[in-house]
């Protein structure tokens, strides 16, 4: 009886250890999370495209526990004068929230703000003439606001 109890106890202990190890691994973010976050928050159009693709398929990135929440352009209009700035603002929020969570916001804030400005200018490139000038001026104003207040 003792032997059967000891064998059962040992098997239960090993199973519990395996479950605990698996649970710990499942909740830990993948080691490449900082690299993925960096690749999605650069100033380039390709970085923006990678982020928008990931944002459309957030479930595929669930192991990384990224914060996808956004208030878009905060207290500023999301689409000022009809210019669609909301997705650019959402990416900016993504960078701010995730770098704050990682404890490396201060080291990345300037680049995140510059990425917002580049994203907004890409929106403006879809216009011409006075409309493009108005859009670019609005983008500059948004950039200055986040640079100073963000």
What pLDDT shows up at residue 107? 98
Q: pLDDT for 41-72, tens place per residue? A: 999 999 999 999 999 999 999 999 999 999 99
* pLDDT band, residue 33 (cuts 50/70/90): very high
Catalytic residues: 92
What are the tokens at 35?
A: 């690299």
How far is residue 145 CA from its own chain's centroid?
A: 20
CATH number of 31-149: 1.20.90.10
Give the SS3 label for residue 52.
helix
CA distance 116 to 137: 14
What are the tokens at 49?
A: 């495209």
What pLDDT shows up at residue 27? 64
Q: pLDDT for 124-138, tens place per residue? A: 999 999 999 999 999
Lowest mean pLDDT among 5-9, 123-127, 138-142, 143-147: 5-9
Q: Is the pLDDT of residue 24 over 80?
A: no
Stretch 94-105: mean pLDDT: 98
Rg, Å, the chain Cα set = 23
Stretch 23-28: mean pLDDT: 54
Enter the pTM of the model.
0.82
CA distance 51 to 14: 41
Query: What percent of the chain is predicted at pLDDT more than 90?
Result: 80
CA distance 4 to 24: 30
Name residue, tokens 């404890």.
103
Stretch 6-29: mean pLDDT: 45
């Amino acid at each position: 009886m003792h032997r059967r109890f000891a064998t059962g106890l040992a098997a239960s202990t090993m199973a519990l250890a395996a479950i605990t190890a698996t649970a710990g691994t499942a909740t830990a973010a993948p080691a490449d999370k900082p690299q993925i976050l960096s690749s999605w928050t650069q100033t380039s159009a390709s970085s923006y495209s990678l982020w928008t693709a990931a944002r459309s398929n957030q479930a595929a990135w669930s192991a990384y526990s990224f914060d996808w929440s956004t208030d878009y352009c905060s207290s500023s209009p999301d689409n000022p004068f009809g210019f669609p700035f909301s997705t650019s603002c959402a990416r900016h929020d993504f960078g701010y929230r995730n770098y704050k969570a990682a404890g490396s916001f201060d080291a990345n804030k300037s680049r995140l703000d510059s990425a917002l400005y580049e994203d907004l200018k890409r929106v403006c490139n879809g216009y011409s003439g006075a409309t493009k000038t108005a859009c670019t001026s609005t983008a500059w104003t948004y950039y200055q606001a986040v640079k100073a207040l963000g």
